[in-house]
Amino acid sequence: MSIRYLEKDRIFWLDTPNTTYLLGIVAQEGFLGHLYYGKRLETITGARELFRVTEPPFVPEKNDRDRSSFFDAFPFEYSSHGVGDFRESSLRIRTKSGHSAVSLVYVSHEIRKGKGKLAGLPATFGKEDEVTTLVIRCIDPVTKLEVELSYSTFEKVDAIARSVRVINGSLEPLYLEKVMSACLDMEARDLDVLTLHGSWARERRMERKPLGHGKFSVGTQRGESSHQEHPFLALLTKNADQTMGEVYGFHFVYSGNFLAQAETNQFGNLRVVMGIQPEDFCWKLEPGERFQAPEVILTYSCQGLGGMSRSLHDLYRNHLIRSPWLHKKRPILINNWEATYFDFTAEKIVDIARESAKLGIEMLVLDDGWFGNRFDDNRSLGDWWVNEEKIKGGLGELVSKINALGMKFGLWFEPEMISPESRLFEEHPDWAIQIPERRPCRARNQLVLDVSRKEVRDFILDQVFRVLHSANIEYVKWDMNRPLSDLGSAALPADRQGELSHRYVLGMYEMQERLLQEFPNLLLENCSGGGGRFDPGMLYYSPQIWCSDDTDAIERLKIQEGTALLYPLCCMGAHVSVCPNHTVGRSTPFATRGMTALAGTFGYELDVTKLSDEDKAAVPRQVRAYHAFHDLIREGNYYRCASYLENHEFDCYQVVAKRGEAALVFFTQVLATPNMHSRCIPLQGLKKGTNYRIFLVNLDKEELMTDTGRCVSGDLLMQAGLLLDRPWGDFQGRLLYLEETP
């Protein structure tokens, strides 16, 4: 068992392959304190010293005069509210009498094999021999609020999944105003904080800065995990880079409002909290009712950011993504959005499919505009029936034609939305999220459906299912194109309006679950105006998520670097599109666009009938490379070798087979520099004593690979580096394949 309770020391000892996490119980009152999280320990004699309760102010039973000093400095495992700890609280309630204080003490615990589900929420999972779970029950003796702190450790991955369940054990209703899913108190050090910020078309840019005193936080109140901030935060020692230094990562398995915060106080105590954003959140708990807070993933690496990335990738591939598609090659798709936008007919779609099939593309995805009266983005969301003006003969006929070409068919939906100009709105205006007498804020001229209501979910799913049953539709792109505002639900009483945002997320999760139950083999791709809801929660439902509406190969280097910091490449939706690029107007070589898209779930987003002969001839070559290398890209270990974000000149990363016998090196020169030697880039993750033969992968030539004739030892490639020629011209890519050779 990787979790132990040391009875004599009153310490819980949690191990993962390379990390240890220690917490314990102090004082007769039974406070839960945090002792250690970091590199794996073999022995822990003397660990209780770290509670520092043998020095002033001691514990309250020895010095009740200075109780507040104790509360404000003790490393709590899950912080209290309003009783003398002036740092960030983990929990806040409002009682019938209007008080908000809460302070927990230990009651009991249980250690078991395996890991239970979190009611209504996405969460990591594992078999009994893969994961162990500790549940600690606590109580606030005054309000009778009961809290269960849950910790799951994974046998083969350096990650701990934490979550919290709150139960109203009193005889009165309580209002839960804040419930963090994890709190971690540590000794402050000279640390940096790393987050991923962004915007539409600029998602998940890495940003690193020094952590000082006070509070540093990221979060969102947009009702989705958001383009703007990612539900992630990492703390890094100053020396941390891709290969060395210590990194603490916190990642939230949730798709709605969140808060992630690091705080350093007067005594040099550092507290990190992560959970549902408390702003606008208030959940009424009747006596006996429970609230399940979502899960936070904690990971510690002493091998820098690369170590963190690979732990998270393995965790998500083995313990979070459930789709039967996870370990399969996904069909290479072509999406008509950038090809036609709203302006298409069935004939046009079949033309695109016919040409695509010839080139080896395997699935046609019909994007926005196929339903209701949807000739532009001002109307018809909610009217999920086929627009026969555009698609004469209906979807059945269209899909049969596409299937007859040997291609699969996929369809776009935006199930959580309602257009004010729609039949749905005419019939159910109260189904939109809005506040009575306040004109709701429109975005892209649409409103958000109140999917916290069962009748709304049933109605929409009924329509979606009807469409999906009407033809052989094997893929769905589930979009969500605006944030939530004007939070009001016609179905909730006044004292439950603060539950809307979370109920919305639970409703959306339930819809996705029901979709997958109805169509278990469906390939689902989530999307939100590009990557506005790219988070671990959504991965529980869909094995891939559209990374960004920005398909420019160079912008994608930054977006995909930030995304791959946390997520395996197999879940990043990436497509080749036309130039000049529709978002930034940049022109890049077709081969470079292909290479960038190959590092994700590969596909096209263009009108293939309008491609130049040269580009058209390159498509089957890219398709061939996808088939040759996608198993490696999907299942391999990811290593970041150089960051264009940092050096402003070039980008380089590797995917290495799990046993090190083969690797791909993706190199992109963004800007050419004249009069220089080749570049020398140290590789990672190879076998030291092995020689590797180096091949150039051709995305624009007849043969798949050219043997460069070079053979270099893994040791040398990792220590001295791989020599890479400097291509002539900007935006040039090089894809190299390294193979173990005797």
Both tokens assigned to 249: 């990562």
CB atoms within 10 A of CB 680: 10
Where b means 16+ CB within 10 Å and e means fewer, 237-257 reads: beebebbbbbbbbbbbbbbbb
- 344 contacts ligand GLA (rule: CB under 6 A): no
The active-site residue out of 158, 479, 615, 651 is 479
Q: How far is the CB of 481 from ligand GLA (least distance, A)?
A: 5
Cβ closest to ligand GLA, residue 158 vs residue 224: 224
Cβ closest to ligand GLA, residue 412 vs residue 590: 412
Q: How far apart are CA 345 and CA 615, in angstroms?
A: 25
Q: Is 479 a known active-site residue?
A: yes
> Are 37 and 184 in contact, with CB atoms under 8 Å apart?
yes
Kindly determine how many residues on this chain lie close enough to bind ligand GLA according to the rule CB under 6 A: 12
> Are 39 and 302 in contact, with CB atoms under 8 Å apart?
yes
Q: How far is the CB of 367 from ligand GLA (least distance, A)?
A: 5
Please list every residue from 472 through 501 that binds ligand GLA, using CB under 6 A.
479, 481
Q: How far is the CB of 482 from ligand GLA (least distance, A)?
A: 10
Pick from 250, 413, 546, 604 the residue near ligand GLA by CB under 6 A. Answer: 546
Q: How far apart are CA 41 and CA 207, in angstroms?
A: 31
Q: How far is the CB of 579 from ligand GLA (least distance, A)?
A: 18
Which of the stretches 76-84, 149-157, 525-533, 672-680 binds ligand GLA when contact is defined by CB under 6 A? 525-533
Binding mask 388-417 for ligand GLA (x = CB under 6 A): ------------------------x-----
> Are 303 and 243 in contact, with CB atoms under 8 Å apart?
yes
Both tokens assigned to 50: 């770290």
- 337 contacts ligand GLA (rule: CB under 6 A): yes
Q: How far is the CB of 338 from ligand GLA (least distance, A)?
A: 8
CA angle 73, 77, 78 (to 5 degrees): 95
> What percentage of the chain's residues is helix, strand, coil (to nearest 5)?
25, 35, 45
Please list every residue from 406 through 465 that binds ligand GLA, using CB under 6 A.
412
Distances (CA, A) of 635 to 360, 533, 638: 23, 23, 9
Cβ closest to ligand GLA, residue 221 vs residue 583: 583
Beta bridge partners of 569: none
Cβ closest to ligand GLA, residue 16 vs residue 481: 481
Pick from 530, 537, 600, 733 the residue near ligand GLA by CB under 6 A. Answer: 530
- 552 contacts ligand GLA (rule: CB under 6 A): no
Report the SS3 class of residue 15: strand
Q: Is 190 a known active-site residue?
A: no
Task: Tell me how far apart the terminal alpha carbons of the chain are, to the nearest angstrom.
Answer: 40
Cβ closest to ligand GLA, residue 211 vs residue 527: 527
Cβ closest to ligand GLA, residue 132 vs residue 551: 551
Which of the stretches 69-77, 291-299, 316-324, 527-535 binds ligand GLA when contact is defined by CB under 6 A? 527-535
Cβ closest to ligand GLA, residue 63 vs residue 340: 340
- 527 contacts ligand GLA (rule: CB under 6 A): yes
> Are 163 and 150 in contact, with CB atoms under 8 Å apart?
yes
Q: CB nearest ligand GLA: which residue?
A: 368
- 549 contacts ligand GLA (rule: CB under 6 A): yes
Question: In three state form, how does the secondary structure of 380-438 look?
Answer: CCCCCCECCCCCCCHHHHHHHHHHHCCCEEEEEECCCEECCCCHHHHHCHHHECCCCCC
Catalytic positions: 479, 549
Residues that bind ligand GLA (CB under 6 A): 337, 367-368, 377, 412, 479, 481, 527, 529-530, 546, 549
